[in-house]
C-alpha cells in the first residue's frame, strides 16, 4: 500500500488497525482498489454495455471512436440502461430483505417460528389498519397473519398501487400520478426495469429514467418501508438507547461475536443466544468474563437501535476488525459483506459463518437460518464461538469505545417532542433550527474513509441544521462523537438550545439503510403539519461516501419524494450530458427536487445550506445569506 494510513481513514482505530494489518501482511480493500487503478474510464462514465452477447460495446466519449453499440444504442441509451439496472438491483436488495421479514411474520402467525414473537403489538395494529385490516377483538397472531398476507400482495401484481404510499402527502402522490411514476407492485417494478433494459425494448433514455424512478419509489415506499415496519413489529420500535461505537467495543476478556449484514432475522436470534444464561455460564467456565456481541454495518445498526448493542465499525472497517484477533465468530447474512472476509479470517482463529440461503462466501462455514430453526441454530453456533475462545492468539484492541445514543425512530422523535411535530416546526419557524438533513450511505475506498460523513455533519450542525443519519454514515458520526452528551458542543447556538432542552444529541441515529424510510415518514409528517409538499420543506439528503446500488435506489426515491440530495462520488452517468442535466436540473421541474454531486464535504455543506435557506424563503421564513 503506497498511501499513508492518515490519507486512507480519519479514524484512529482504522489507522492503527491498518498498521496492524500491514504487519500481519493482510490484503485489504485499499490494496485491491489500488491494484485496479486506473479503473475503466468507459465504465466510470457509464458508457460500456455488456447487456447482450453482440457486445460488449462502448461509446467513445471524445467522439473519435464508435458512437453506438452493435445494436445501435447511443450514449444516452447505454447510460440510462446501466443506471436503471443499478436502481433495479438496489431496490431488489432492500425489497427482498423486506420479503424475508414478511415471511418471518407469516411464520410467527402460524406458530412456526420458535424464538420470534410480536414485540410491538400496537405497531402491528396500526400498520394492519393502514392495510385495511380490522383489529378489534381479533387475535394478535391472526392480525399478524392477515398483515403478512396483505404485504405479500404489495410485492406482486394484484394491486394498482403499493399500500404504504398513502403515507406520502396527497400533493406528492398526485404529482407521481401525473408524472406516471406511482409504484405498482414492488417486484413488478424491478422486473419491468430489467425487461425495459433488455436489448431492443425501451430505448428512450428519459422513459427509462422514469421507470427507474418508479422502481426506486417501490423500494422506498414499498420494500424498505415494509422491512422497517415488520422489523419494528417483530423486534420492537426503537427508543433512545445508550450504546458505544468503534473497534474499542471489543472486549479482551470476553468472547466476542460480530454480526454483519442487514437482516435482523438472524442477528436478533444471535443476540438472544448471547444472553442465554446457560451459554453465558458456559463462557465463564471457559475463562471468559461473558459474551460480548457487537455489530457491523446495518444489521449492527438494527441491533443498536433496538437494544443498544455496540457498533464495531462501518463498511470499510469490516476486514480490519477481524485483524484485532479478538473475534471468536462472525455471522454474515447478506449485502455489503466483502467476499474477502473469509480469507482474512484464515489468518486468525475467527470462525466465519454464512447464514442465508441466498448468500455464500469463500472460507465461511454455511449454516442456513430459517424461521423454524433460527433460535436453536443460534444457540448451537454461539456455543461453538465460546469453545473457540481458547484458540485465541494475540489480541489487539486499538482504542477506547466512543459513547453514543441511538434509537431515534419517528415514534421516538415525536415522543421526545411531546407527541407532535409542532415543537420541531416551531423551532424551524423561529430559525433556531434552519432545517434538517438526512446523511446516509456507505464508505468507498475512492474517498478518505469517514472524512465526508464527519466533515459534512460537523458543518451542518455548526450551522444549526439538525442531522438525522442511517447506515454507515450513522456509524461514522457515532465514532466521531456526534451522538453523545458532549456532542452539543459541536452544534450552533439554536440547535444547541433546542436539542439541549429535549435532551437529544444534534445528530439523531435513525437506523439502518432500509430505515431511510423513517426519514420519508418524518418528512411527510412535517409536510402534512404545514399543509404542504415535502419538496417545499427546508430538508435535504446527502450520501457523501456512497458505493452501493442500494444507495442509488435510496437517492432516487429521496429525490422523487421531493428531497434535494447531494452525492459525494459521481455516479456512472457522465457519458450522457442529457442524463446529467435531467438529474441535476430537469427533475426540479418534474418532481421539485434534484441531485447534486460534490465530493468535498465543505462545499457540499454550502450547497445544502443554500438550498435550505432558499426553501425557508419559499415558506416565508427568515432566510440567511450563505457564503
Ligand atoms: O445498507 S450504508 S455500505 S452497510 S449499502 Fe452497505 Fe452502504 Fe453501509 Fe447497509 Ni447501506
Ligand atoms: Fe452492445 Fe447493444 Fe448488446 Fe449493449 S445491448 S452489448 S450496446 S449490442
pLDDT in tens, 329-347: 999 999 999 999 999 999 9
Same domain, 456 and 553: yes
CATH of the domain at 123: 1.20.1270.30
Residue 357: partners with Cβ closer than 8 Å, 6 or more residues away: 368, 370
- For residue 571, the CA-to-ligand 2 centroid distance in Å is 21
Same domain, 480 and 534: yes
Same domain, 201 and 258: no
Q: Where are the beta strands (DSSP E) in 451-538?
A: 465-470, 507-511
- For residue 78, the CA-to-ligand 2 centroid distance in Å is 8
Same domain, 545 and 498: yes
pLDDT at 526: 97
**Grid cell 429525490 in the structure block, residue:** 559
What distance in Å separates the CA atoms of residue 543 and residue 442, rounded to the nearest whole number?
7
What is the domain count for the chain? 3
* Among 186, 211, 235, residue at a domain's last position: 235
The CB of 66 under 6 Å from ligand 2? The reply is: no
Same domain, 277 and 310: yes
Taking the CA of 75 as reference, the closest ligand is: 2
The CB of 56 under 6 Å from ligand 2? The reply is: yes
Residue 52 lies in a domain: no
Residue 342 lies in a domain: yes
Residue 297 lies in a domain: yes
Same domain, 526 and 429: yes
What distance in Å separates the CA atoms of residue 483 and residue 505, rounded to the nearest whole number?
5
Q: Which three cell numbers stand for residue 242?
A: 445508550
What distance in Å separates the CA atoms of residue 206 and residue 414, rounded to the nearest whole number?
39
Going by C-alpha positions, the residue among 440, 428, 401, 386 that lies closest to residue 527 is 428
Q: Where are the beta strands (DSSP E) in 290-447?
A: 291-296, 310-313, 329-332, 351-354, 365-366, 402-406, 435-439
Residue 160 lies in a domain: yes
What are the angstrom distances between the C-alpha of 549 and each of 43, 85, 88, 251, 307? 15, 9, 8, 34, 28
User: Edge to edge, what strands does the sheet with 402-406 contain?
Assistant: 365-366, 351-354, 329-332, 255-260, 291-296, 310-313, 241-245, 402-406
Residue 604 lies in a domain: yes
DSSP reduced 3-state for 301? helix
Q: Which atom of ligand 2 is nearest to the CA of 77?
A: 7
Same domain, 375 and 446: no
Helix boundaries (H) for 323-450? 341-345, 374-388, 410-416, 422-429
Same domain, 342 and 457: no
Q: Which three cell numbers stand for residue 623?
A: 432566510
pLDDT at 137: 86
Same domain, 561 and 468: yes
Same domain, 443 and 589: yes
Q: Which atom of ligand 1 is nearest to the CA of 441?
A: 2
The CB of 49 under 6 Å from ligand 2? The reply is: yes
Residue 37 lies in a domain: no
What distance in Å separates the CA atoms of residue 408 and residue 25, rounded to the nearest whole number?
40
Taking the CA of 55 as reference, the closest ligand is: 2
Q: Which domain holds residue 452?
A: 406-618
Residue 23 lies in a domain: no
What distance in Å separates the CA atoms of residue 94 and residue 183, rounded to the nearest whole number?
15
Same domain, 126 and 196: yes
- For residue 251, the CA-to-ligand 1 centroid distance in Å is 25
Residues of the chain with pLDDT under 50: none
Taking the CA of 198 as reference, the closest ligand is: 2
The CB of 57 under 6 Å from ligand 2? The reply is: yes
For ligand 1, atom 6, which residue shows the shortest CA distance? Answer: 336
- Sign of the Cα torsion 281, 284, 286, 290 reads positive
- Sign of the Cα torsion 187, 189, 192, 198 reads negative
* Among 357, 391, 425, residue at a domain's last position: 391
Q: Are 352 and 344 within 8 A, CB to CB?
A: no
What are the angstrom distances between the C-alpha of 421 and each of 213, 529, 613, 618? 29, 7, 20, 20
* Among 182, 212, 235, residue at a domain's last position: 235
Same domain, 578 and 599: yes
Amino acid at each position: 500500500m503506497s498511501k499513508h494510513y492518515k490519507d486512507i481513514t480519519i479514524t484512529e482505530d482504522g489507522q492503527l488497525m491498518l498498521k496492524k494489518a500491514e504487519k500481519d501482511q493482510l490484503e485489504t480493500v485499499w490494496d485491491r482498489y489500488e491494484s485496479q487503478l486506473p479503473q475503466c474510464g468507459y465504465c466510470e462514465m457509464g458508457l460500456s454495455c455488456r447487456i447482450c452477447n453482440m457486445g460488449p460495446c462502448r461509446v467513445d466519449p471524445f467522439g473519435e471512436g464508435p458512437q453506438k453499440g452493435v445494436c445501435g444504442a447511443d450514449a444516452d441509451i447505454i447510460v440510462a440502461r446501466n443506471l436503471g439496472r443499478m436502481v433495479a438491483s438496489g431496490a431488489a436488495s432492500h425489497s427482498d430483505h423486506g420479503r424475508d421479514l414478511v415471511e418471518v411474520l407469516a411464520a410467527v402467525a402460524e406458530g412456526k417460528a420458535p424464538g420470534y414473537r410480536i414485540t410491538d403489538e400496537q405497531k402491528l395494529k396500526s400498520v394492519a389498519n393502514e392495510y385495511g385490516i380490522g383489529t378489534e377483538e381479533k387475535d394478535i397472531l391472526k392480525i399478524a397473519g392477515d398483515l403478512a398476507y396483505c404485504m405479500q400482495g404489495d410485492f406482486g401484481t394484484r394491486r394498482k398501487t403499493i399500500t404504504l404510499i398513502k403515507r406520502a402527502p396527497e400533493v406528492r402522490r398526485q404529482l407521481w400520478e401525473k408524472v406516471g411514476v406511482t409504484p405498482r407492485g414492488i417486484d413488478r417494478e424491478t422486473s419491468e426495469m430489467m425487461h425495459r433494459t433488455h436489448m431492443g425494448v425501451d430505448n428512450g433514455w428519459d422513459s427509462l429514467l422514469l421507470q427507474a424512478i418508479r422502481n426506486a419509489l417501490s423500494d422506498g415506499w414499498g420494500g424498505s418501508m415494509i422491512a422497517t415496519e415488520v422489523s419494528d413489529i417483530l423486534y420492537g420500535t426503537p427508543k433512545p438507547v445508550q450504546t458505544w461505537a468503534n473497534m474499542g467495543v471489543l472486549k479482551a476478556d470476553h468472547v466476542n461475536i460480530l454480526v454483519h449484514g442487514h437482516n435482523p432475522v438472524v442477528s436478533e436470534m444471535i443476540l438472544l443466544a448471547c444472553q442465554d444464561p446457560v451459554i453465558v455460564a458456559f463462557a465463564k467456565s471457559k475463562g471468559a468474563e461473558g459474551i460480548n456481541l457487537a455489530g457491523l454495518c446495518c444489521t449492527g445498526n438494527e441491533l443498536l437501535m433496538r437494544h443498544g448493542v455496540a457498533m464495531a465499525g462501518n463498511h470499510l472497517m469490516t476486514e480490519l476488525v477481524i485483524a484485532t484477533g479478538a473475534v471468536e465468530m462472525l455471522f454474515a447474512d447478506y449485502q455489503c459483506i466483502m467476499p474477502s472476509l473469509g480469507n482474512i479470517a484464515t489468518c486468525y482463529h475467527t470462525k466465519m459463518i454464512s447464514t442465508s440461503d441466498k448468500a455464500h462466501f469463500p472460507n465461511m462455514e454455511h449454516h442456513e437460518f430459517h424461521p423454524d430453526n433460527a433460535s436453536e441454530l443460534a444457540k448451537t453456533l454461539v456455543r461453538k464461538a465460546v469453545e473457540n475462545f481458547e484458540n485465541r492468539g494475540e489480541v489487539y484492541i486499538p482504542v477506547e469505545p466512543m459513547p453514543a445514543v441511538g434509537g431515534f425512530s419517528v415514534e421516538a422523535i415525536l415522543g421526545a417532542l411531546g407527541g407532535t411535530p409542532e415543537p420541531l416546526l416551531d423551532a424551524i419557524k423561529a430559525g433556531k433550527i434552519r432545517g434538517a438533513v438526512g446523511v446516509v450511505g456507505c464508505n468507498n475506498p475512492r474517498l478518505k474513509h469517514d472524512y465526508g460523513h464527519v466533515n459534512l455533519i460537523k458543518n451542518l450542525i455548526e450551522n444549526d441544521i439538525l442531522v438525522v443519519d442511517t447506515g454507515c454514515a450513522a456509524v461514522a458520526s457515532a465514532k466521531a462523537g456526534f451522538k453523545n452528551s458532549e456532542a452539543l458542543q459541536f452544534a450552533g447556538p439554536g440547535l444547541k438550545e433546542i436539542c439541549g432542552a429535549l435532551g437529544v444529541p444534534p445528530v439523531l441515529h435513525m437506523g439502518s439503510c432500509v430505515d431511510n424510510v423513517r426519514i420519508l415518514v418524518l418528512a411527510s409528517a412535517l409536510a402534512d403539519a404545514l399543509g404542504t409538499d415535502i419538496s417545499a420543506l427546508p430538508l435535504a439528503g446527502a450520501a457523501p461516501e456512497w458505493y452501493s446500488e442500494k444507495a442509488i435506489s435510496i437517492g432516487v426515491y429521496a429525490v422523487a419524494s421531493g428531497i434535494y440530495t447531494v452525492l459525494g462520488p459521481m455516479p456512472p452517468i457522465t457519458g450522457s450530458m442529457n442524463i446529467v442535466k435531467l438529474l441535476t436540473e430537469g427533475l426540479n421541474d418534474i418532481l421539485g427536487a434534484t441531485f447534486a454531486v460534490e465530493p468535498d464535504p465543505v462545499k457540499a455543506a454550502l450547497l445544502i445550506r443554500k438550498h435550505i435557506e432558499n426553501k425557508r424563503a419559499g415558506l416565508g421564513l427568515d432566510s440567511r445569506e450563505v457564503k
